[in-house]
Structures are given as C-alpha cells and as structure tokens.
Structure 1
Amino acid sequence: MSNKQKMIFRGSITINLFLILIVIWGYVKIDFAIEQLFFTEVQENLVELEGLIAHQKANNWSEPNLVTTELGDILDGLYLGISNGKYLGWISNDDKEILEELSSKLRQYPHDGLYNFATLTQADINNFEELQIKLREVGLGLNVTISNDWNSFMEKSKALEEKIKVPLN
C-alpha cells in the first residue's frame, strides 16, 4: 500500500470509530431518558399518591380531586413510558405486559380526565384507602427508601399489579 492509501485507511477507521461512539452515546442517553421517565412520572407519582391518600384520610377527604388528579398523572406517565419504550425497542415484552396490566388495574379507580373531575363515592374512598396500604406494602410510600434501579422498580410494579384485584369491589 502506498502512503496515501494508508492515510485514507487510517482516516476511515478513525471516522468509523467516532461514529460508533456517537451511536453508543445516543443509546446510553435514550436508556437514561426512558428510565427517568418511569422514575419521575410513575414511581415518584405513586409515592406521592400514597401520601395524598394518607393526607386525605387524615383530613376526612376534604379535597379528593388531589388523589384523582395524581392517579390521572400516573396513568399518563405509564402510557407515555410504555409507548416510548415500545417504539424505541427499549422495554422488554415481560416488562411491557406488567406495566400494561398495572395501568389497566389502576384505571378501575376513579381518575380525572381532561376538563372533568371524578366524583368519589364511599366505596371509591374505601378502595383508595386500600390502595394506599398496598402501595406501602410494596415499598412505594412516603418516608420509604426508593431506589432508582430499573429491576427494583419492576419488582415493585409487579407486586402492586398482583395485589390489585379485578374488580375492586
């Protein structure tokens, strides 16, 4: 090989390695973004839901829409995370099934929609109070150590999904 060919070959190898690094960096960033979406929009909101239910229970359910609005946010977060994870090929089929089943079971509870608030009956209040207990039992409660580890999140999601019965009453 001539010096010119060697120079072109080395340059080609360098450019290819650089492009591979860019692809790997992009994948790492997507992985981080999807995990953070689930941690902030689902896990943290489930913890907040547990606290809101406890607060409403202590205050004789003076503002029940705080709970139903938070549940709506959780359902939106689950939908967004599952959709993005599926389209990006990031979420496994097993994890997708667990999260879809959890979403389906949480939809049994009254939750706010766009421009309308849910009205709670005494049975709904009782169901939310039972949900609060289930959230704490699986480790999704205020003053409980929460890990930002995907496997831990999925274990808690699966445990919660298994605890919620269909139908609620």
Structure 2
Amino acid sequence: MKSSAALSLAFVVLSPLVCSAADMWAEKLFPNPKQCAFSEGGISYDVDQKKFAIWGPFPKVVSDSLNAIGKKISKSCKQGENPDLDFVQSGTFFGNEYYKFTIPLYSLSGGNCVTEFYYSFTFREKAKVVHDNILKITGKDLRILPGSGSTQIDDDGWIADYGNYSTYTCSMMEY
C-alpha cells in the first residue's frame, strides 16, 4: 500500500503538466477572459525559429513547458495563407479542462505570413458548463454563441457550442 502511494506521488512530482504552474499559463495570459487583453505577456509560434515566442513575466516552468510542446511542431506558413496552429495538449482554463489550444503563428522570412491574432481552447464539455466555471471563478459572464454563429460581438472573449464540444476564443482582432 505504501509503495503504490509513493509511486502515485512520484508520478505527480515528475509529470511536468500535472498539477504544475505550467498548466496554468492560459489563465496567466488572460486573467480577464471577457476582455482578454494581455496583462502578463503573450505567446505566439515563430515558424522561422520553430519555437514559441514568449514574452512577459511567465515563470520559467511555464516557458519551459510551452517550449517542450513547441519542439514537437513542424509548421510552415506562406504569404496569403492563414493556417491554424492547433496543439493537442491538455490543461486547465478557469476550472475547465481543455484538450486542444490554438495560437497565432507568423513567419517573417520566406513568406511574411501572419495568422489572425486569436487564441482558442477546446473543451469536451458543453458551452454552458465552461461558461458556468469561468463565471464562478472570475465573475465574468461570457457570451455563449452557437458554433456557426457570428462572432461580431463587443467582447474580446466568448464561448461557442458545437454540440459535443465547445471552444473559448479570445480575439485581438477588430470586427
């Protein structure tokens, strides 16, 4: 019995994304998910350097964790393209477990490609569950849109329901 408890504790201590500050990078980046201006820095993916561009006062464990994810990516980008950069990586966002996130990417050499500047987190829960958890933790009442609905709203951040999954999107674009 003691050895299984020790083994479980060792897994938690040694696993980089379990119960660590690195798992909370999204909450540090967007502490106000409704008006999601950067307050703690930012993150994007630099196609030319094949790594995340991370700025701001993130703890080293956050930067290291994201850079470990970034090393697994092989993405290209050419002028006129607007590809998504999705990461199948789990984490938490204000009481909700996401299984995928999307971030902006850019390439300044050999294509001058810059994607639309938005972040998106995908959850297995319905939008109402994601909404209620965010409201409970932050006090922010985000709008829920149907998955095929318009995103022309006043808020920077919103939740969309797609039936068996939902997304939180933080857009830095003007509509």
TM-score by length of structure 1 reads: 0.32
Query: Quick check: which one's helix share is greater?
Result: 1
Looking at secondary structure, tell me which structure has more strand per residue.
2
Higher RCO, 1 vs 2 (CA within 8 Å, ≥6 residues apart)? 1
Q: TM-score under structure 2 normalisation?
A: 0.31
Q: State the structure with more CA Rg.
A: 1
